[in-house]
Structure 1
Amino acid sequence: LVLILSNSGETEEIVSLLSPVKKIGAAIISITGEPKSTLGRHSDVVLDLGKIEEACPLGLAPSASSTAMLALGDALALTVARRRKFTKEDYALYHPGGELGRKLLTVDKVMRTGKANPVVRCDATVREALRVMTETAGSPGATSVVDKAGKLVGFFTDGDMRRRLPSNPDLLDERVEAVMTRNPKRVTSGHLASEALRMLRDYKIDQLPVVNAKGKLIGILDVQDLLDVGKVETEA
């Protein structure tokens, strides 16, 4: 489907496109002030602007006609959106860089997964947890802790280690489940990124583990990722 706009319907550049467009089997919808023009005759659907007197003092430069095309184009877009039951989520999908796209951006679009998602079993030592945190790409400075089934049971950060190490020289050899934060703050993959950022700020934390509907770990969200991409805005 090709939408073509031309008040006269005889613009050389547009007329030259009509044959190739027809050859590929595309339908043509035209917005024109001349339904019987070359463009109008080759169109499957003609949206007639009618006779429009340009606002230009010379009556030449597109002005009133271009404004009419804009209005008709908006009406067409809104009608199609209504007929297709176009949702805010659809809008965000096709317009991710806009304000609505930022507001509807979900955690799964920015979370870290795979090798960038640090995770240890609850029976791992703090030393092993520290190694995972250090070797993970992006150095998030934290690791999620899971049970044998992969469900999130805790969270451990380098800050936790620094606070405990002075009073416990044997900390590195302890099991991480003994020093981790149990029942940590978390989000699901479908959670709005803007809400996740608000949680990070409200609780003054830098990371959030991401789980699925069954509580299994699937990723980690780092505050720096949200700030770096410049896509997330929290509401005032």
Structure 2
Amino acid sequence: MARASRSTARKPRLRALPGHATSTPEPGPRPSPAPSPTSSPDEREATLDYARSVLEAEAQAILGLTGRLGDSFLRALELVRDSVQTVVTGVGKAGLIGQKLSATLASTGIRSVFLHPTEAVHGDLGRVGRGDVILALSNSGATEELVRLLPSFKRLGAPVIAITGDAESPLARGADVVLDIGRIEEACPMGMVPTASTAALHAIGDALAMAVLRARPFGSAEYALLHPGGKIGRSVMRVFELMRSGPSNPVVRDTAKLSEAVVVMTNTPGRPGATNVVDRQGRLVGIFTDGDLRRLVEQGRTNFDVPIREVMGKRPRCVGPEVLVLAATKLMREFRVDQLPVVDAEGKAVGLLDVQDLLAARYF
């Protein structure tokens, strides 16, 4: 007897990926979507009020630290200031705060590295040596990965500064100095997500780093060496770092012909749009620019045998090599010039600041 044919096609079986179950669980009831925080004026205002309360809780946690600073903070400052290297360590959110603290210390001239506790027990303890100091961050002070490192730090001769919210915790008991931020209520609906406590850890770390900076001979010049890029680097760069000097500094004698000046402007590396004009002692007496040449052509004065001293710009504005590039740029903007001679204390032309170089360095 023939089987009756099915009226519907058989659905293809889905091939399971390796390591995945082949059966498809029955979909259960989906939870109701949470109400939108902007669905009504009242709910919008309630959301904003709650967000403000988070900011207030974190601000209060930070302000509460001011009364906790004392002898322990001063001792921690001395240890970090006098250390060969500051090793910052922590796990989770405290570890992330620690990474930022290590970066802040390094940017202000304190040698610092971040040591992850898990990696430390597998060989990274080799980063720690005698003369180093440990900054260990843990709000609870009971982080297992951190506490088990304390004996190793002691054997290596590295004193430990604990930054914690529990002065009676295992971390605090094993540390040489304790910076106690106190018990802090978190700013979250469950009271569990690290928020106010991490704000406090961050703030006391910054306070320590800035106090160490204040206690050391470290100024803008040293800061510039560590921040050569970006806006910070541009704000402290000196003219000698950007000017054209040596073979790239275009120079002609005041007795030279106009044709010789044009050749110098053309053949000097980088093809500057001007040349310094100097006397027999090399002192600056003038400048000749592409603009000056164009004006001579417009006026029909194309005698290239004329001495450059007769057509050069006399008494040009100039700067010293130690002047901030920002100040030199302001001068060029004010007087609408594209080149600025650079002279030393004796008035000798030691360089040329060109607008093209300022554009490349993003000063314009």
TM-score range normalised by the length of the shorter chain: 0.7 to 0.9
Separation in structure 1 between the aligned mates of residue 234 and residue 205 of structure 2, nearest angstrom: 25
Partner residue in 2 for 1:161: 293
- Judged with a 3 Å threshold, the aligned counterparts in structure 2 of structure 1 residues 186 and 72 are, in CA distance, closer, same or farther, namely same
Q: State the SS of the aligned residue for 1:128.
A: helix
The offset of 1:107, in angstroms, is: 1.9
Deviations 1:108-127 (A, max 9, x none): 23222223221222232222
Q: State the SS of the aligned residue for 2:276.
A: strand
Q: Percent identity?
A: 52
Q: Which one-letter code corresponds to 1:30 in the other structure?
A: A
Structure 1 position 114 matched with structure 2 position 235:
no
Partner residue in 1 for 2:268: 136
Spell out the pairing of 1:51-90 with structure 2 (5 A cutoff): 51-84=183-216, 86-90=218-222
Q: State the SS of the aligned residue for 2:275.
A: strand
Deviates most, 48-57 or 29-38: 29-38
The offset of 1:73, in angstroms, is: 2.0
Structure 1 position 32 matched with structure 2 position 164:
yes
When the two chains are superposed, the root-mean-square deviation of aligned CA atoms in Å is 3.1
Partner residue in 2 for 1:224: 356
The offset of 1:155, in angstroms, is: 0.6
Deviates most, 113-122 or 91-100: 91-100
The offset of 1:179, in angstroms, is: 1.9
Q: State the SS of the aligned residue for 1:199.
A: helix
Give the TM-score, by structure 2 length: 0.54
Deviations 1:68-122 (A, max 9, x none): 1122123223322332365455545544556565444332232222232212222
- Judged with a 3 Å threshold, the aligned counterparts in structure 2 of structure 1 residues 52 and 203 are, in CA distance, closer, same or farther, namely same
Partner residue in 1 for 2:303: 170
Which of 302, 314, 317 is 1:182 aligned to? 314
Unaligned stretches of 5+ residues in structure 1: none
Deviations 1:11-40 (A, max 9, x none): 466568768877876654332224455654
Separation in structure 2 between the aligned mates of residue 84 and residue 206 of structure 1, nearest angstrom: 40
Structure 1 position 6 matched with structure 2 position 122:
no
Separation in structure 1 between the aligned mates of residue 261 and residue 306 of structure 2, nearest angstrom: 10
Q: State the SS of the aligned residue for 1:219.
A: strand
Separation in structure 2 between the aligned mates of residue 23 and residue 137 of structure 1, nearest angstrom: 59
Which is higher, the Rg of structure 1 or of structure 2?
2
Give the total of aligned pairs.
Answer: 231
Bigger relative contact order, structure 1 or 2 (CA pairs below 8 A, ≥6 apart): 1
- Judged with a 3 Å threshold, the aligned counterparts in structure 2 of structure 1 residues 6 and 125 are, in CA distance, closer, same or farther, namely farther
Spell out the pairing of 1:139-150 with structure 2 (5 A cutoff): 139-150=271-282
Separation in structure 2 between the aligned mates of residue 23 and residue 128 of structure 1, nearest angstrom: 73
Q: Which one-letter code corresponds to 2:190 in the other structure?
A: L
